[in-house]
Structure 1
Amino acid sequence: MSAEKSGSFDDIVRLAPDAVQPVVRRLRDLVLAADPETCLVVQLGYRAANFGVGTKKMTESYLHIIPHARWVNLGFNYGVALDDPDNLLEGTGAKMRHVKIRSMAECANPALVDLIRSAASERKNALGYN
């Protein structure tokens, strides 16, 4: 499958193992509630749902959801620029960080919504949308 092949969010859910499908859906709902104007682009080859201020994956996207066998990565494309007082972010990349979400209970952490809002704000400010 081509990495660039587009699809729907439901396709991402279907590609995810049954155990993490509810987490995938809940994370999407959190993103949409935190940033109702977000642009969603699904790349089936990466098994990723990207959220951003536009369709460009590396510059306009601020967050992605990627399901794995036992968790879902809530990835922040510019995570190094975000305040993370609860130390949820993991990773050592030059820009990206992620949070591994393993359960619906972890989705209820209000710090996740703060990170999502912060990520959306960072991209909007960096690209001059505010």
Structure 2
Amino acid sequence: MSSLFRFSSAMTQHPEVEAWLAGRDPMRVVVRPWFDVMRGLGPDVRELLHDGHPTACVEDAAFAYVDAFSAHASIGFYEGASLPDPARLLEGGGKRMRHVKLRWGSPTNEAALRDLLIAAYADMRARVDAGE
């Protein structure tokens, strides 16, 4: 049995994800460009709306998501505990998942966040290839 979080309904450019991202909530505006980065990481990236938030997958294996709240937005990583994070952006103490909080008006280390997204994609691609 796979230890990865898999979604057989993931697809390229899911209409529910697009509708969520098009919402007028200001924090959705903050995370939209980051979800677009996820979409562009490889031809095998698929997406779906899971638990009410856009989730990016390598094929059917989830690697990251975005969510928006009233005071902040989050970019979450399903296997975030195993990612290199020299800029120390990741928060959380669970066994696997970690997230980065984005706050309106606060600077974001965009290069480090992009590196985390690239690492999360590459890590999940390797896990899928290994048959996890």
Query: Normalized against structure 2, the TM-score is what?
Result: 0.76
**Paired residue for 1:25?**
32
Identity level (%):
24
**Paired residue for 1:51?**
56
Mapped to 2, the partners of 1:21 and 1:48 lie a distance apart of: 10
- Structure with greater helix percent: 1
Q: Structure 2 unaligned segments of length 5 or more: list them.
A: 1-8
Q: Secondary structure at the match of 2:66?
A: strand
Which of the residues 4, 21, 44 maps onto 1:13? Answer: 21
Report the residue type matching 1:12 in the other structure.
W
**Paired residue for 2:3?**
none
* Matched residues, number: 117
Report the residue type matching 2:56 in the other structure.
F
Query: Normalized against structure 1, the TM-score is what?
Result: 0.77
Q: Secondary structure at the match of 1:8?
A: helix
Q: Structure 1 unaligned segments of length 5 or more: list them.
A: none
Deviation at 1:107, TM superposition (A): 5.5
Mapped to 2, the partners of 1:27 and 1:8 lie a distance apart of: 17
* Contact residue 40 and residue 52 of structure 1 kept, 8 A: yes
Q: List structure 1 runs of 4+ shifted beyond 6 angstroms.
A: none
Mapped to 2, the partners of 1:100 and 1:109 lie a distance apart of: 12
- Structure 1 residues 9 and 106: alpha-carbon distance in aligned structure 2, compared to 1, 3 A threshold: farther
* Contact residue 48 and residue 65 of structure 1 kept, 8 A: yes
Deviation at 1:41, TM superposition (A): 1.2
**Paired residue for 2:73?**
72
Deviation at 1:30, TM superposition (A): 2.1
* Contact residue 71 and residue 104 of structure 2 kept, 8 A: no
Q: Secondary structure at the match of 1:94?
A: coil
Deviation at 1:73, TM superposition (A): 1.0
- Structure 1 residues 106 and 76: alpha-carbon distance in aligned structure 2, compared to 1, 3 A threshold: farther
